[in-house]
Amino acid sequence: MIRSRIIATGSYAPPKVLTNFDLEKMVETSDEWIISRSGIRERRIAEKNTSTSDLGTQAALRALEMAGLAPEDLDFIITGTNSPDMFFPCTGCFIQAKIGAKKAAAFDVSAGCTSFIHALSLADKFIKEDPSRKVMVLGAEIMSKVTDWTDRGTCVLFGDGAGAIILAGEEGERGILSTHLHSDGALWELLYMPGGGSANPSSHETVDKGMHYIKMAGNQLFKVAVRALADVSQEALKYNRLKSQDIDIMIPHQANTRIIEAAAKLISFPMEKVFLNIEKYGNTSSATIPIAMDEVQREGKVKAGDLMLLCSFGTGVTWGSAVIRW
Ligand code: ACO
């Protein structure tokens, strides 16, 4: 059987660190509140003149280097992002041009923080269609530029970064075993950015009202997120006839440690097998999972044949999972 195997990973986070102590000087908050409510200690912030595609480009180059591939070898570049360089063209096209992946078809996926899993699911289908293809999947974000730095309810949570993986068709047991995707658009008001689109085109008024910033009902979203992560993880296990104990490592979307702990508890999944790096990066939206995949790969926390469970939720509301034999 042909499967889509992850042959390389790469990630990049901008060097500038913003700690909880820095935030204490910006809004009424405390390191103690942020760490106890979210698990975040610091996050990375991109420079003013940096675009999302710049972060994606660095992650892409690192993945290509690990794969030993040239940019021209890529057939697709699928980028999950909620903070694109521009409305159009897509951020993937900028990444394509910056790395010189002349042959690749590039497009973006917008499904909130779950975008990376949606992109991964598409990549799997492209490879099943033609196993000779090499497909790059990215999650890349500069959330700091859509964050209201006066809103303590959101500004402590988000960060910037990018992760990339490369998939190739391979005969055997290793690779993507399943993906499951869901959404409930009726819950859109839990997390949204109202300004700049066709509903509220950019104007002095939209800017004055701060409509170009994230709006979030954190408390309500918290409950939806716990249920979504638990349900979609259970769905993935059941589909693959697996039990929690069969999974070697779970990489959940890094939005809040308490959300992850509550979801893991609901499905009796041991926290020792859950990978967390939220402490260092905060919530980098669709980039959290590919950044984590790169870290576990480079730090030797996964080995060939391990079973990995990815699960995510995000604005939309969307949620999804993937099971991978590494
Ligand atoms: N510092 C200090 N106090 C704060 C802060 C802050 N940064 N933010 C809020 N508070 C206050 C509130 O004003 C409130 O005060 P009150 O009781 O006097 O009204 C109190 O803390 C409790 O607020 P809650 O919102 O109930 O706190 P909660 O325990 O729910 O934690 C949090 C808030 C961290 C935002 C949590 O709800 C959460 O993580 N929700 C999910 C958010 C999320 O995951 N978003 C992204 C998902 S999709 C994606 O990744 C793009």
Q: What is the pLDDT of residue 162?
A: 98
- Please, are residues 138 and 79 in contact by the beta-carbon 8 Å criterion? yes
Domain boundary among 172, 196, 228: 172
Residue 211, pLDDT score: 97
Q: Are 109 and 159 contained in the same domain?
A: yes
> How does DSSP classify residue 189?
G
User: Is residue 89 located within the same domain as residue 106?
Assistant: yes
* Per-residue pLDDT at 28: 97
- Which pLDDT score, from 0 to 100, does residue 307 have? 98
Q: Is 219 in the pocket of ligand 1 (CB under 6 A)?
A: yes
Q: What local confidence, expressed as pLDDT, does residue 245 receive?
A: 94
Mutation pick for ligand 1 pocket among 31, 192, 256 (CB with most ligand atoms within 8 Å): 256
* The token pair that represents 280 in the structure block: 């260092």
| Contact 314 CB / ligand 1 (< 6 Å) | yes
CATH number, domain with residue 154: 3.40.47.10
143 CA closest ligand 1 atom index: 51
The verdict on the CB of residue 222 being under 6 Å from ligand 1 is yes
Query: Which amino acid would we find at residue 298?
Result: R
Q: Does residue 184 share a domain with residue 136? A: no
pLDDT score for 220:
96
User: Which residues of the chain have a pLDDT value below 70?
Assistant: none
* Same domain assignment for residues 121 and 194: no
Number of domains in the chain: 2
- Same domain for 160 and 237, yes or no, is no
55 and 188 fall within a common domain: no
Q: Is 183 in the pocket of ligand 1 (CB under 6 A)?
A: no
Q: Which residues contact 272 (CB under 8 A, 6 or more apart)?
A: none
CB-ligand 1 contact for 79 (6 Å cutoff) = no
Provide the residue range defining the domain that includes 317: 177-325
Residues 10 and 152 in one domain: yes
Site to probe by mutation for ligand 1, drawn from 219, 253, 313, 315 as the one with most ligand atoms within 8 Å of Cβ, is: 219
- Using one digit for the tens of pLDDT, what is the confidence trace for 54-108? 999 999 999 999 999 999 999 999 999 999 999 999 999 999 999 999 999 999 9
* Residue 253 annotated among the catalytic residues of the structure: yes
* Burial class of 88 by CB neighbour count within 10 A (0 to 12, 13 to 18, 19+): exposed
Choose one of 172, 203, 237: the last residue of a domain: 172
For residues 154 and 260, membership in a common domain is answered with: no
Co-location of 26 and 167 in the same domain: yes
Query: What is d(CA 311, CA 264) in angstroms, rounded to the nearest whole number?
Result: 11
CA distance 119 to 179: 10
Residues 115 and 25 in one domain: yes
pTM, two decimal places: 0.97
